Structure 1
Amino acid sequence: MLKNYFKIAFRNLWRHRGFSFLNIGGLAVGMAAAFLILLYVGFELSYDTMFPKKERIYMLVSDLKTPSDSYQIPVVDWSVLGKITPQFPEIIYSTRIDDMDLSIQKGAENFVEKRALAADSTFFKIFDLKLLKGNPDEALRAPLSLVLSQTGAQKYFGSENPLGKSLKIMNGEYTAQITGVMEDLPKNTQIQADYLLSLSTFTKIIDPSLDESWANYEPRGYMLLSEQANPTKLVSKINAYLEEVDGEKMKASNLFIKQDMEPIADIYLYSTRIGSGIPNINNVYIFGVVALFILLIAGINFINLTTARSVERAKEVGIRKVIGAQKKQLMLQFVGESLIITILAFILGIALATLALPYFNTLAGQAVALGIFSNWSYVGLFFGIALAIGLAAGTYPALVLSSFRPVSVLKGKFSTTRSGGFLRKALVVSQFSVSIILIIGTLIIYNQMHFMQSQNLGFAKDRLLVLDTDNNAKQQLLADYLKTNPNIISIGKGSTVPGGGGENSSALSIMQNSQGQDQTLTVDRYVIDDTYLDQLDINLIAGRNFSREFASDSTQALIVNEKVVDLLGYSSAEKALGASFDQWGKKGHIVGVVANFHSASLQNQIEPLSFVYDTKQSRLLTLKISPSNVSETLAYVEKSWKRFMPNTHFEYYFLDEFFDRQYRAEQRFSNLFLNFAVLAIFISCLGLLGLASYSTKQRRREIGIRKIVGASVPGIVNLLSKEFIKLVGIAFLIAVPIAWYGMQNWLQDFAYRIDIPVWIFAVAGILAIGIAMLTVSFQAIKAAIANPVKSLRTE
């Protein structure tokens, strides 16, 4: 009997090939899309979960409060871990990690490695990263110890064993010994490095005062806690202890510090601290919902089309019952056929996902999975979903058709039930509600991205070429030589450029406020020359720029932005001029105020910013170049670089492209959302096309009679289409408030955002109706132009 069921099932599939293609194809595409999204969501949720002791690894973070403001930062001061680790037995190990650009000399050439970290000797005790060569307990203990990843070792030593060998670092000033080779770090961790330099290189050789400094915030701090430790209680004890030992310093400087701890596995998705960016969990939630939406649409399609088609098999059921088929057997047949179809759709969906994975990885900007079967639990989950959809689609016709009275059915008295028609209409409304929500979401995301990328940033980033000289001694000679090229309009120097290029540092500063009192602020600090502001067209609204004519500018002058003026309580920028400051050992007065500008992406609020004048510590050269002959200018710059710095690898970037990199994550999110929204709409159209085909076939005699009595083709098309258009209209009314609420919450994560315009909802409605009209009209026109004689023939 089972063999007979299989034979009938495949005969039905083949007899109605077009319908079967729509049914199986729609479900397969939906499952493939949802499967890819699941891979993405799983990848995002797996960040920093590969460490064996992840449940006990915490990041120590800092909350700073001044009389006028408060800051939540993801770093600690240099000395805090050294103070607390010996005091609390709950802390097994602690380590500091400092991001750095490490210049490495290979032969006669210097390379600036961006994927480098300085770390304490306890680094490997906490993170348990596998060392392929070397002793993890000793690898980072001595100053000038360097651990390479497999990639780093291959770059500098090829197939040789690098252990015990040495490399010149920091422009050849120091020689580092290779003490270990580690496995390449996976992509799904925030600790990314191909080069680990012992932190004692800085604390013992370069700047021995670091371990004793206070409120000097730069490294990230991590702790491995004991199994019995209570993080909440430990934080309270840490803060009480630091209040005891540093309380007088806090009062004297009006800077009050509290420490907090964040589980390492939560930082990437949940942290909202300055420098951490927008919490990625929101995007994960959105994609999770999109995956559910796509599965819902695909499932609705399948159930809708399966139940609609089952009505045509009423006579088959009648004949089976006449020859003795039991109700249980009929139910098993319909459910079994439905399961066969969903299993075929599952197999096809896995095949489609396999083919689409390389494109999906490119779209996501990272290899979220190397293969479809890298996680078998996901495959099992989707097989279960396929079975569930098959059961849901097969159960309704199984129950209804197996209950028919064979005499009535064979006399042709069977017709679709009101409940069946209502169910199909409800399902169409549901799937188009989801589609309209996705259309609205896509339009709002696109507009927010366009808003961020087209806003006036408050500075000019076009045609600015940035070179990182890493404070090379011949920087000035290079700059003077480049000025002779007529295509290079101007050259400036700075430690940092907007967007995070160069050295990004925050400085604890004491400034005189509007009440004449000393006020502590934490401000971003740019080291620049006297041409930097003009070159970037940063607007000076009060006071003056730095000048070579004032020798004291390099030691006693400070320029701030409007945000600092507001925090100090001055009613105007002019009134802040002359206010005293004390910053990193420099004391003097504010000589200028610049208008606020976006030094970071529009995802973040404008932060307080200060500029100091020092041409010797300005590692970046910024070149304003002519828009003509760009390739020739670049060739000239490279040739000049090799003339003055032949041992340093030539690298450059354009500021506009560099600044826009901050939006890459959101751009990828936007592209992914758009692609899956289009897929969801496509699947909805497949279902609507199938239902329209079925509905048209059911009314073919009615259409024939209408044509005979004079109905026009447009009239018939309108007749067949208006029912579906009504359903789309109802879906629109349901979708609008849901989409508005969801996207309004999404926009709250942006410091600068659009107000959702009404036209977006109007466009979404027009698009949805237009898509539905195009889909339905294809079948309606086909039916309207058919020969009525054929339509009126009896079976």
Structure 2
Amino acid sequence: MWRHRGFSALNISGLAVGMAAAFLILLYVGFELSYDTMFPKKDRIHMLVSDLKTPSDSYQIPVVDWSVLGKITPRFPEIQSSTRIVDMNLSIQKGTENFVEKRSLAADSTFFKIFDLKLLEGDPDEALRAPLSLVLSQTGAQKYFGSENPMGKSLKIMNGKYTAQITGIMQDLPKNTQIQADYLLSLSTYTKVIDPTLDESWGNYEPRGYVLLSENVNTKNLVSKINTFLEEEDGEKMKAANLFIKQDLELITDVYLYSTRIGSGSANINNIYIFGVVALFILLIASINFINLTTARSVERAKEVGIRKVVGAQKNQLMLQFVGESLIVTILAYILGIAIATLALPYFNTLAGQEVASGVFANWSYVGLFFAIALAIGLAAGTYPALVLSSFRPVSVLKGKFSTTRSGTFLRKALVVSQFTVSIILIIGTLIIYNQMHFMQSQDLGFAKDRLLILDIDNHPKQQLLADYLKKNPNIISVGKGSTVPGGGGNKSSALSIMQNSQGQDQTLTVDRYIIDDKYLDQLDIKLIAGRNFSRDLASDSTQALIINEKVVDLLGYSNPDAAIGASFDQWGREGQIVGVVADFHSESLQKEIQPLSFVFDTKQTKLLTLKVAAADLPETLAFVEESWKQFLPDTHFDYYFLDEFFDRQYRAEQRFSNLFLNFAVLAIFISCMGLLGLASYSTKQRRREIGIRKIVGASILGIVNLLSKEFIKLVGIAFLIAVPIAWFSMHKWLQDFAYRIEIPWWIFAVAGMLAIGVAMLTVSFQAIKAAIANPVKSLRTE
């Protein structure tokens, strides 16, 4: 090892880097697969979900009707308990300051019984039973009470309208769960104080529903019984509304990665599979390099083996020597790999967008697994040369008749082809992922998101005063109002709606519902293609008018948008006529199809102020907005965002995936080149006398470089032919997860091939040029 320090460093570092990269990916994959596995009863906790069907469409949603759990829980003994959870932004007032806490949930009193979350203080059975009860996490308690004990104390909530009593302190929830909250408000606050009709309402979908089943329950049979019961219970309501509902159960540990329902999870199991394969690929490339270089170098030790055999070494002793040396090297690489992973983990956590692990030793099973892999690689790398060399007759070896065998040469070539096949697949994958991301972010969304400042005023009573004052600033072009904005900001809701279709019949639809004012469409440059916009001058617009998108027009069967104008509608008690149709626009990421959408005019139920601002003097404009906020809403936390940045957050998961994939693809190519450099160095050294003779008889430097490079380039070409169909099939399948996607262009494969050959040429040429310009006399002087 010390005599050939350069070779040893190349061999050990290549394997170490590969093991470190694969180890980090394993941490990430393990973290994603561990979602919601920390609950003791996880095998019996299921999420109740809903399938809605109307005459024209069907919807799969991850929420339930407010009343459904109350109906089925006492009816079926298979259900031990159930709970509802509502995501909310809870405004909390402490002294003169008001905060909007986004990590908040409202939950039934059975919440702690089902999830077995430990309370540090308080009774888990009673903590969420009474209305206006509030449980804080350790982080929440620290924020509002510091070192004081919060139990029994109170906080004003919902803009100071109510006073909630602290009834429990819970441990901070782990990061790998979909149930994220620092503030838990009793759901009875909604069902008994805010709206006592909620428990009896039907067709009102907002809470997430969870059930705890008894042991060994057949979920398919239970789902069938639940749907039969609900059809008997609510069948008349379904027929009257022309809305037919089925329930289903999804195991809590499957929801994050496997559920396809709208709003369920942000991860994608296919991405996890891809990363698992990438980790395997990188480990495979690093292992191939190590075995390739070790077996190639071992040929130089033929005379050593011959002398050992002459002085009495047995075959098993020689086997033990080679395998032992190989194991020592792989264990050194393993230790170095763990050290590299430790140093790289903070950067990797940043790249992944979350803390996938606090340290490399957080999971000892992974550390043990990689130690076993290191031993396996060492055995594989040591066994082959030991078997080959120990089988040769020492007389032949000592006479210099030993040379590289055809089988050995073929093995090394096959390994080079394998690792470059993997590298080219990763290059193609990186280019396709980048192009898909660019396509999604550069696509025309159908609305303008630039220079729109969004203020979350949470329907504050002084919102109009603030809006009027902001209009005085010349850098604020216009001020509008809305309940939500594209990308999911604000309060997005879906409404069960009855609309007159092209046949003159009432048709039931579930449509997304935006509450807006008359400035909203113009501010976002949403194109009106039929009818008119809302008007403040028409009092009926606030009670009897509706604007829809093209998707609704299609579902209603109208031949063109103008034909839908004047059609009647009934939506949540609001009855009237459709007065306008807007062009379809992407209110969500391009991963999803455009959904049916409606707009209603109501300036009193909007929680967002939308400000169109000038590009000039943006810092000054923002400072003015903040000063104005403090003047009119001094007790409320200043909360704002720019729509373009907010909308692009939907692509964060894909961007993280893209960045991770790119980093590991580059790493895989780098490791492949390290191996190629080692093999090129070995090949050049083996042919140094041939190169010397060629130079003496007149060979040019270019001719020698070409001679040494063409064999490796040929291997990369074979790898390219193997990689192309595999990469096309894999990435074509990955693209199916996107509603709007690119067609894979041919030039991506050409670019990948040229990149691979170019990188290989640079790598091999370095050694080839070095050999070609060397003094031939020195080459011929060697033994």
Cα distance in 1, alignment partners of residues 265 and 145 from structure 2: 37
2:488 to 500, 506, 514: 500
The secondary structure found in structure 2 opposite 1:373 is: coil
Matching of residues 336-485 of structure 1 within 5 Å: 336-485=324-473
Equivalent in the alignment of 1:8? none
Shift in Å, 1:794: 3.6
TM-score (norm 2): 1.00
- AA aligned to 1:295 is L
1:134 aligns with 2:122: yes
Distance 1:182 1:600 in 2: 35
Residue number in structure 2 paired with 1:10: none
Q: Which one of 74, 86, 89 corresponds to residue 77 of structure 2?
A: 89
SS at match of 2:635: coil
CA contact (8 A) 1:278 1:603 kept: no
What CA deviation, in whole Å up to 9, does each residue of 1:649-680 have, x standing for no partner?
11110000000000001100100000000110
Rounded Cα–Cα distance in structure 1 between residues aligned with 2:228 and 2:545:
38
Q: Per-residue deviation at 1:229?
A: 1.8
Q: In the alignment, which residue of structure 2 is the partner of 1:328?
A: 316
Q: Report the Cα distance in structure 2 between the residues aligned to 1:757 and 1:33, rounded to whole angstroms.
A: 30
Q: Which amino acid aligns with 1:493?
A: K
Residue 190 in structure 1 maps to residue 178 in structure 2: yes
Displacement of 1:274 in angstroms is 1.2
Q: Which amino acid aligns with 1:536?
A: L
* Paired residues of 2:255 and 2:265 also in contact (CA < 8 A): no
1:69-468 correspondence to structure 2 within 5 Å: 69-276=57-264, 280-468=268-456
Match of 1:756 in 2: 744
| Shift of residue 279, structure 1, vs aligned partner | 5.3
CA contact (8 A) 1:90 1:228 kept: no
Looking at structure 1, the residues matched to 612 and 457 of structure 2 have their Cα atoms a distance apart, in angstroms, of 17
Q: Using the alignment, how far apart are the partners of 1:223 and 1:252 within structure 2?
A: 29
Cα offset, 1:278, TM superposition: 6.1
Worse-matched range after superposition: 750-759 or 276-285? 276-285
Corresponding residue of 1:523: 511
* Residue identity matched to 2:313: A
| TM-aligned CA deviation for residue 230 of structure 1 | 1.5
- Other structure's SS at 2:724 match: helix
- 1:67 corresponds to: 55
Change (3 A) 1:390 1:762: same
Q: How far off is 1:180 after superposition?
A: 0.6
Among the aligned pairs, what percent are the same residue? Answer: 86
Matched letter for residue 569 of structure 1: G
Contact 1:272 1:278 survives alignment (8 Å): no
SS at match of 1:479: helix
Distance in 1 separating the partners of 2:217 and 2:69: 17
In structure 1, distance between residues paired with 2:219 and 2:537: 56
Alignment correspondent of 1:7: none
Partner of 1:595: 583
Q: Does 1:552 align with 2:540?
A: yes
1:510 to 492, 498, 501: 498
Quote the Cα distance in structure 2 between the aligned partners of 1:29 and 1:278: 30
Which residues of 2 match residues 582-621 of structure 1 at below 5 A? 582-621=570-609
Report deviation, 1:363: 0.5
Give the secondary structure class of the aligned counterpart of 1:408: helix
CA distance in 2, matches of 1:624, 1:129: 45
Residue pair 2:83, 2:211 contacting (<8 A) in 1 also? yes
State whether structure 2 residue 651 is matched by structure 1 residue 663.
Answer: yes
Distance 1:187 1:500 in 2: 22
Q: Is the 8 A contact 1:271 1:279 kept in 2?
A: no
Correspondences of 1:631-646 after superposition (within 5 Å): 631-646=619-634
**1-structure distance, mates of 2:460, 2:224:** 46
Cα distance, 1:490 vs. partner? 0.4
SS at match of 1:679: helix
CA displacement at 1:704 relative to structure 2: 0.3
- 1:121-164 CA-to-partner distances (Å, cap 9, x unmatched) read 10000001111111100000000000111111111111110010
Q: How many residues align?
A: 783
* Distance in 1 of aligned mates of 2:120 and 2:199: 31
Alpha-carbon distance in 2 for matches of 1:50, 1:721 = 55
Distance 1:53 1:29 in 2: 39
Instruction: Write the distance in 1 (CA, Å) between the matches of 2:217 and 2:301.
Output: 67
- CA distance in 1: counterparts of 2:147 and 2:594, whole angstroms: 48
2:675 is the counterpart of 1:687: yes
TM-score w.r.t. structure 1 length?
0.98
For 1:361 and 1:70, how far apart are their aligned partners in 2? 39
Aligned residue type for 1:218: E
Asked if structure 2 preserves the Cα contact closer than 8 Å seen for 1:104 and 1:111, the reply is yes
SS in 2 for 1:60: strand
**Deviation for aligned residue 1:277:** 5.6
3-state DSSP class of the match of 1:751?
Answer: coil
What is the root-mean-square deviation in Å for CA atoms of aligned residues? 0.6
Cα distance in 1 for residues equivalent to 2:660 and 2:612: 35
Tell me whether 1:489 sits opposite 2:474 in the alignment: no
1:3 matched residue in structure 2: none
Q: Is the partner of 1:112 in helix, strand or coil?
A: strand
1:296-326 Cα offsets, whole Å, 9 max, x none, are: 0000000000000000000000000000000
> Structure 1 residue 21 and structure 2 residue 9: aligned?
yes
Indicate the SS of the match to 2:586: coil
Deviation at residue 648 of structure 1 after TM alignment: 0.5
Amino acid at match of 1:219: P
8 A contact 1:74–1:220 mirrored in 2: yes
Contact 1:277 1:603 in 2 (8 A): no
Retained in 2: the 8 A contact 1:76–1:217? Answer: yes
Distance 1:606 1:792 in 2: 74
CA distance in 2, matches of 1:158, 1:608: 47
Contact 2:267 2:653 in 1 (8 A): no
Runs of 4+ in 1 over 3 A off after TM superposition: none
**Structure 1 SS opposite 2:76:** coil
Decide which of 643, 662, 665 is 1:677's aligned counterpart. 665
Q: Indicate the SS of the match to 1:369.
A: coil
Query: Hey, what does 1:4 align to over in structure 2?
Result: none
Quote the offset at 1:228 in angstroms.
3.3
SS of match in other structure, 1:357: helix
Secondary structure of 2:35's aligned partner: coil
- 1:765 lines up with 2:753 in the alignment: yes
Other structure's SS at 2:129 match: coil
Superposed CA offset, 1:49-75 (max 9, x none): 000100000000000111111100000
Report what 2:525 is aligned to. Answer: 537
Query: Structure 1: which amino acid aligns with 2:535?
Result: S
8 Å CA contact 1:353, 1:372 repeated in 2: yes
Which one of 551, 554, 577 corresponds to residue 566 of structure 1?
554
Residue 276 of structure 1: CA displacement? Answer: 2.0
5 Å-filtered alignment, 1:775-794, equals: 775-794=763-782
Alpha-carbon separation, structure 2, partners of 1:452 and 1:209: 43
Corresponding residue number in structure 2 for 1:747: 735
